[in-house]
Chains A and B, each alone.
Chain A
Amino acid sequence: MSVIDDLQSALAGEHAAVYGYGVIGGRLSGSKKAQALAGLNEHRSTRDQLSRLIVSRGAEPVPAEPSYVVDVSTGQQSQLVSTAIKIEDRLCVRYANLVLNTDQGARTLAIAQLQGCAVRSALWSKTAQAFPGLVEATPQP
Chain B
Amino acid sequence: MRPISRRGVLSGLTLGVALGVTGISLSACSSEKTVVKTAVDQGSLNQVFAAEASLLALATSSGLTRVSKIHQAHLNALTAAGAQPPTPDAAGALKQLARGQRRQADLCSSLALSASPRVAQLLASIAASNAALAALASSSA
Contacts and interface: CB of A to CB of B under 8 A. Distances in A.
Interface of A: 92, 95-96, 99-102, 104, 107-108, 110-112, 114-115, 117-119, 121-123, 126-134, 137
Contact of A137 (B112, B113, B125, B132): B125
A111 B136 contact: no
Contacts of A112: 109
A115 B105 CA distance: 9
Contact of A119 (B124, B126, B131): B131
Nearest to A126: B136
Interface centre among A102, A129, A130, A132 (most CB of B within 10 A): A132
Given A99-B112, A100-B118, A101-B117, A130 B129 contact: yes
> How many B residues touch the partner, as a band?
20 to 34
A131 B109 CA distance: 14
A100 B136 contact: no
B127 A131 contact: no
A134 B122 contact: yes
Contact of B131 (A96, A101, A118): A118
A123 B127 contact: no
B104 to A, nearest CB: 12
Contact of A133 (B117, B125, B139): B125
Contacts, number: 82
B128 interface: yes
B124 A122 contact: no
Given A96-B125, A99-B112, A137-B125, A129 B132 contact: yes
15 contacts: A95-B124, A96-B125, A99-B117, A100-B120, A108-B113, A114-B125, A115-B109, A118-B129, A119-B128, A121-B132, A123-B135, A128-B129, A131-B129, A133-B124, A133-B125
Given A96-B121, A134-B121, A137-B125, A111 B133 contact: no
B100 to A, nearest CB: 14
B131 A111 contact: no
B113 A128 contact: no
Contact of B135 (A95, A101, A107, A122): A122
A110 B133 contact: no
